[in-house]
Amino acid sequence: MAVKVIGAGLAGAEAAVYLARSGVEVELYDIKPKSFTPAHSNADFCELVCSNSLKGSDPFSNACGLLKEEMKILGSVTMEAAEATKVPAGGALAVDRDKFAKYVTQKIYENKNIKVVCKEVTALPQGWCIVATGPLTTEGLSRSISSICGGQLHFYDASAPIISRDSIDFSKCFAGDRYGKGGDDYLNCPLTEEEYSAFADALVSAERAELHSFEKGEIFEGCMPVEVMAARGKDSLRFAMLKPVGLKDANGNKYYAVLQLRKENAEGMAYNLVGFQTNLKFGEQKRVFSMIPALKNAEFLRYGVMHRNTFINSPECLNADFSHKTCPQLFFAGQITGVEGYVESAASGILAAIHLINKMNGKPPLIPPNTTVCGALSAHIAEANENFQPMNANFGILKAPEKQIKDKKLRYRYLAERAVKNITEYKQKLNMY
**148 and 168 belong to one structural domain:** no
| More confident position, 93 or 219 | 93
Percent of the chain residues past pLDDT 70, beyond the cut: 88
Query: CB neighbours (10 Å) of residue 181?
Result: 10
Same domain, 179 and 297: yes
Most confident listed range (128-132, 148-152, 240-244, 394-398): 128-132
Look at 127-141, 178-192, 380-394 and tell me which has the smallest mean pLDDT: 178-192
DSSP for residue 103: H
How far apart CA 190 and CA 176 sit, in angstroms, is: 13
Can you give the pLDDT at residue 96? 83
What pLDDT is recorded for position 71?
98
Give per-residue pLDDT as tens, 156-194: 556 789 899 999 999 999 888 777 766 666 899 999 999
Residues 296 and 312 in one domain: no
What is the mean pLDDT of the segment spanning 404-420? Answer: 94
- In the predicted model, is pLDDT for residue 388 greater than 60? yes
- pLDDT tops 90 at residue 250: no
User: Which pLDDT belongs to residue 363?
Assistant: 95
Q: Identify which has the larger pLDDT, 214 or 21.
A: 21
The number of folded domains in the chain is 2
Amino acid at 92: A
Task: Using alpha carbons, list the distances in angstroms from residue 281 to 135, 209, 278, 286, 316.
Answer: 20, 5, 9, 9, 31
Q: Answer with the residue of higher pLDDT: 182 or 281.
A: 281
- Say whether both 115 and 229 belong to one domain: no
Residue-averaged pLDDT of the chain: 88
**Domain-terminating residue out of 303, 331, 357:** 303
Cα–Cα dist 406/421, whole Å: 22
Average pLDDT estimate for 99-116: 95
Q: Are residues 219 and 314 in the same domain?
A: no
Which pLDDT value is given to residue 248?
80
pLDDT for position 284: 95
Note the pLDDT of residue 220. Answer: 43
Q: What is the pTM of this model?
A: 0.72
Residues 13, 130: one domain? yes
Q: What is the pLDDT of residue 177?
A: 76
Rounded average pLDDT over 188-217? 83
Domain C-terminal end among 282, 303, 324: 303
- Inform me whether the pLDDT recorded for 218 exceeds 50: no
Question: What pLDDT, on a 0 to 100 scale, did the predictor assign at position 1?
Answer: 79
My answer on whether 9 and 147 are in the same domain is yes
Split at pLDDT 50, 70, 90, the class of 291 is very high
User: What's the mean pLDDT in 245-265?
Assistant: 84
Mean pLDDT for 36-56 is 71
My answer on whether 37 and 10 are in the same domain is yes
Model confidence at 103: pLDDT above 90: yes
Instruction: Give just the sign of the alpha carbon dihedral 360, 361, 363, 368.
Output: negative
Residues 135 and 255 in one domain: no
Whether 345 has a pLDDT exceeding 90, the answer reads yes
Q: Are residues 167 and 292 in the same domain?
A: yes
Q: Report the CATH number that the domain containing residue 69 is assigned in CATH.
A: 3.50.50.60
Q: Are residues 154 and 216 in the same domain?
A: no
Helix then strand count (H, E) for the chain reads: 12, 16
Min mean pLDDT across 1-10, 65-74, 151-160, 297-306 is at 151-160
Contact 305, 157 (CB under 8 A): yes
Domain of 262, CATH number, reads: 2.40.30
Q: Do 115 and 232 fall into the same domain?
A: no
Residue-number span of the structural domain to which 375 is assigned: 3-158+306-432
Residue 38 has pLDDT above 80, yes or no: no
366: amino acid identity, one letter: L
The yes-or-no verdict on residue 195 having pLDDT over 80 is yes
The domain boundary residue, chosen from 251, 272, 303: 303
Mean of pLDDT values over 131-149: 84
* Residue 115 reports pLDDT greater than 90: yes
For residue 222, name the pLDDT band (cuts at 50, 70, 90): very low
Per residue in 51-74, pLDDT (tens digit) is: 667 888 899 999 999 999 999 999
Pairing type for strands 53-56 and 3-6 reads unpaired
User: 29-34, long-range: CB within 8 Å, 24+ apart, which pairs?
Assistant: 29/4, 29/5, 29/117, 29/119, 29/121, 30/6, 30/116, 30/117, 30/118, 31/118, 31/119, 31/120, 31/138, 32/8, 32/118, 33/118, 34/118
* Average pLDDT for 15-34: 93
Q: Of 94-108, 141-155, 389-403, which gets the smallest average pLDDT? A: 141-155
pLDDT of residue 36: 57
Provide the pLDDT for residue 105.
Answer: 95
Decide which of 221 and 432 is more confident: 432
Length of the chain: 433
Q: How confident is the model at residue 351 (pLDDT cuts 50, 70, 90)?
A: very high
